Amino acid sequence: MADIPKEIQKKYEKLKEAISRHGHFYYVLDAPEITDEAYDSLMRELEALELEYPALITSDSPTQ
Protein backbone atom coordinates (compact mmCIF):
# COMPACT_ATOMS: atom_id res chain seq x y z
CA MET A 1 0.00 0.00 0.00
CA ALA A 2 3.03 2.22 -0.27
CA ASP A 3 1.67 3.87 -3.42
CA ILE A 4 -1.63 4.78 -1.79
CA PRO A 5 -1.66 8.19 -0.10
CA LYS A 6 -1.93 8.03 3.70
CA GLU A 7 -5.06 10.19 3.72
CA ILE A 8 -6.77 7.72 1.35
CA GLN A 9 -5.78 4.81 3.58
CA LYS A 10 -7.15 6.61 6.64
CA LYS A 11 -10.37 7.49 4.85
CA TYR A 12 -10.77 3.87 3.77
CA GLU A 13 -10.29 2.56 7.32
CA LYS A 14 -12.74 5.12 8.72
CA LEU A 15 -15.34 4.14 6.14
CA LYS A 16 -14.90 0.44 6.95
CA GLU A 17 -15.30 1.16 10.66
CA ALA A 18 -18.37 3.34 10.13
CA ILE A 19 -20.06 0.79 7.87
CA SER A 20 -19.32 -2.02 10.31
CA ARG A 21 -20.65 0.00 13.24
CA HIS A 22 -23.82 1.04 11.45
CA GLY A 23 -24.34 -2.50 10.19
CA HIS A 24 -24.15 -3.76 13.77
CA PHE A 25 -26.70 -1.19 14.95
CA TYR A 26 -29.02 -2.05 12.05
CA TYR A 27 -28.74 -5.83 11.83
CA VAL A 28 -27.86 -6.89 15.38
CA LEU A 29 -29.39 -4.25 17.63
CA ASP A 30 -32.31 -3.35 15.34
CA ALA A 31 -31.62 0.28 16.20
CA PRO A 32 -30.25 2.08 13.13
CA GLU A 33 -28.50 5.38 13.72
CA ILE A 34 -28.52 6.53 10.10
CA THR A 35 -30.92 6.21 7.19
CA ASP A 36 -30.63 3.47 4.59
CA GLU A 37 -29.67 6.15 2.09
CA ALA A 38 -26.80 7.36 4.27
CA TYR A 39 -25.58 3.77 4.73
CA ASP A 40 -25.77 3.16 0.99
CA SER A 41 -23.80 6.36 0.41
CA LEU A 42 -21.02 5.13 2.72
CA MET A 43 -20.94 1.82 0.85
CA ARG A 44 -20.74 3.56 -2.54
CA GLU A 45 -17.89 5.72 -1.28
CA LEU A 46 -16.03 2.62 -0.05
CA GLU A 47 -16.64 0.81 -3.35
CA ALA A 48 -15.31 3.82 -5.28
CA LEU A 49 -12.11 3.84 -3.22
CA GLU A 50 -11.67 0.10 -3.78
CA LEU A 51 -12.19 0.56 -7.49
CA GLU A 52 -9.59 3.32 -7.64
CA TYR A 53 -7.18 1.60 -5.23
CA PRO A 54 -7.68 -2.20 -5.45
CA ALA A 55 -4.71 -2.77 -3.13
CA LEU A 56 -6.90 -1.47 -0.29
CA ILE A 57 -9.31 -4.39 -0.51
CA THR A 58 -9.08 -6.83 2.37
CA SER A 59 -11.12 -9.87 3.31
CA ASP A 60 -12.78 -7.91 6.13
CA SER A 61 -14.07 -5.21 3.80
CA PRO A 62 -17.86 -4.79 3.93
CA THR A 63 -17.88 -5.11 0.13
CA GLN A 64 -16.45 -8.64 0.21
pLDDT digits (tens, 9 = 90+) for 32-42: 999 999 999 99
Distance, in Å, from the CA atom of 64 to the CA atom of 62, rounded to the nearest integer, reads 6
CB-based burial, 29-56: b 16+ in 10 Å, e otherwise = eeeeeeeeeebeebbeebeebbeebeeb
Ramachandran region, residue 6 (left: φ > 0; alpha: ψ -120 to 50; beta: rest) = alpha
Number of domains comprising the chain: 1
pLDDT for residue 1 is more than 70:
no
Asked, for residue 38, whether it belongs to a domain, the answer is yes
Give the chain's mean pLDDT: 96
Which CATH number characterizes residue 41's domain? Answer: 1.10.287.610
**Predicted confidence band of residue 16 (pLDDT cuts 50, 70, 90):** very high
For residues 24 and 7, the answer to whether their CB atoms sit within 8 Å is no
Asked, for residue 51, whether it belongs to a domain, the answer is yes
Q: What is the span of the domain harbouring residue 38?
A: 6-56
What is the per-residue pLDDT for 28? 97
What is the per-residue pLDDT for 35? 97
